[in-house]
Structure 1
Amino acid sequence: MSTSRLSLFHDCHRGERCVLVCNGPSLNRMELDFLRGEIVFGLNKIHLGLEKFGFYPRYLVAVNDKVIQQSAEVYRRMTAIKFLSDSCAGLVPEDAFTYHIRTEGLPERFYRDITQGVRGGHTVTHAAFQIIRYMGFREVVVIGMDHNFTASGKPNEELHMKGADPNHFSPDYFRGQKWDAPNLAESEVSYRLARQIFEEEGRRIVDATLGGACDVFEKADYRQVFGSGK
């Protein structure tokens, strides 16, 4: 992993707005045409919805080993700029579109300098916030962060999705695969820290998720933010 490659992204989008597309089922109830005119970050298995939703992310972030292992073949073909955990570096080698980033053995909960690494903070969304801040974005609008899961296991427990996945926009998201049960309480701790750091620096995180259950961030109606009709 070359940290000098990551440094190329420092303040490359200073003062701009981006959209962070999480993977909740609420995406299925939205008209997402507006994303074609935005700088979009996708997460994890967003590739399962690109044809349906009609957009392509400029950036993609994935730090969970299971997700990267399950998606490696697709990631190798994607032309989005990808930030992937270096713990799976052998599965998706670095190239013009792929950047490895340190995610393990890190003491801090939020890293302002991503050349040192990023903390997952129990959710890839938090890792994305660190990258977005490093790039200099002034505002990030979040959609698809439903923050509501159906899971029988304890937080962080490895589970096996036997049937259709009810927690993501696609029923095939984890169908027949292993996944880690969410830890919503710890995710919220990470989110509060991200909000604090963004606001201290004059930046904003706006949660425009349709019917989202997270109450950490400033809320907005995505139709008003983007002028969308649905």
Structure 2
Amino acid sequence: MSKLKGEITFGMNRIYLMFPELGFRTTYLSVVNDLVIEQTAADLAALDMPKFLTWRSRKFFSNLQLSTSNLPTFLYSTYDSPRFSPDVRGRIWEGATVTYVTMQLAFHMGISEVYLIGVDHNYDTKGKPNTTITSDGDDPNHFHAGYFGKGFRWQLPDLETSEIAYRMARQAYENAGRRIADATVGGKLTIFEKVDFNAIF
């Protein structure tokens, strides 16, 4: 992962738990799930880096100290009306995953090649999509046991809707002469071209 240092990178959700191990911070951070933002608002507020959050989450920061130089950029996102938005200044569809929102952000910024890293698209925890559950122990689905650790409330993934969104993103990028490739090691996502992580540098 050290090869990513100096590249434009987007981290998502609680990627900041990996920053000490990485030895660098991602360029940007995206978080759109209400439960995640509500429970990590203090962490997010303390991160001095560009952050993209949902407009509806602003209420979770009302009692926190935010310097004017560290204000999040709030996105007007929705669960409805599936679409890919090349301009994120308007309303954007979340596609049931922060990864899709981040793909739209990257497109808006003019990034022509996107490489997915760590998008496993596979969860050990099973159940009805979008159901809110409370973790009863260490998180078996992410890189850190405390990511959605004991007592953390989170929603089970909606992988089917995510795949619909990913196909829309792939088409939008291809139509614009751009590219999304998947450099995840061992991931289960099959929507994007697979590439070797070490070969992209």
Query: Displacement of 1:105 after TM fit?
Result: 6.3
Task: Give the partner amino acid of 1:96.
Answer: S
Counterpart of 1:69, as a letter, is: E
Q: Residue 148 of structure 1 contacts residue 213 of structure 1 at CA under 8 Å; is this kept in 2?
A: yes
2:40 to 30, 53, 71: 71
What TM-score, normalized to structure 1?
Answer: 0.81
Letter in 2 for 1:137: I
Structure 1 residue runs of 5 or longer lacking an equivalent are 1-31
Task: State the alpha-carbon separation in 2 of the partners of residues 174 and 145 from structure 1.
Answer: 16
Deviation at 1:111, TM superposition (A): 1.3
Matched, 1:196 2:165: no
State, as a whole percentage, how many aligned pairs show the same letter. Answer: 40
Where do 5+ consecutive residues of structure 2 fail to align? Answer: none
Runs of 4+ in 1 over 6 A off after TM superposition: none
Question: Once the two structures are superposed, what CA deviation does each residue of 1:125-173 show, in whole Å capped at 9, x if it has no partner?
Answer: 0000111100000111110001110123201111111011011110101
Distance in structure 2 (CA, Å) of the matches to 1:220 and 1:152? 28
Partner of 1:166: 140
Q: Post-superposition shift, 1:104?
A: 2.7
CA distance in 2 between counterparts of 1:110 and 1:202 reads 15
Q: Distance in 2 between matches of 1:120 and 1:77?
A: 25
Counterpart of 1:177 in structure 2 is 152
List per-residue Cα deviations over 1:25-45 (Å, max 9, x = no partner).
xxxxxxx11111211110011
Whole-Å separation in 2 of the counterparts to 1:61 and 1:92 = 16
TM value normalised by structure 2: 0.92
1:205 aligns with 2:180: yes
Structure 1 residue 106: Cα displacement: 5.0
Q: Which secondary structure state, in structure 1, belongs to the residue aligned with residue 59 of structure 2?
A: coil
Aligned pairs, how many? 195
Whether contact under 8 Å (2:133, 2:155) holds in the other structure is yes
Q: Tell whether the 8 Å contact from 2:132 to 2:156 is kept in structure 1 after alignment.
A: yes
Match in the other structure for 1:52: 21
Alpha-carbon distance between aligned partners in 2 of 1:37 and 1:68, rounded to the nearest angstrom: 27
**Contact 1:153–1:159, Cα closer than 8 Å, also in 2:** no
Comparing both chains, which one has the higher relative contact order based on Cα–Cα distances under 8 Å and sequence gaps of 6 or more? Answer: 1
1: CA distance, partners of 2:78 / 2:95: 11
Q: Which residue of 1 aligns with 2:88?
A: 114
CA offsets, 1:29-83, max 9 Å, x none?
xxx1111121111001111111012220111111100111111111111122001
Give yes or no for contact 2:85–2:93 (8 Å, CA) kept in 1.
Answer: yes
Q: Is the 8 A contact 1:40 1:57 kept in 2?
A: yes
Pairwise CA RMSD of aligned residues?
A: 1.4
SS in 2 for 1:61: strand
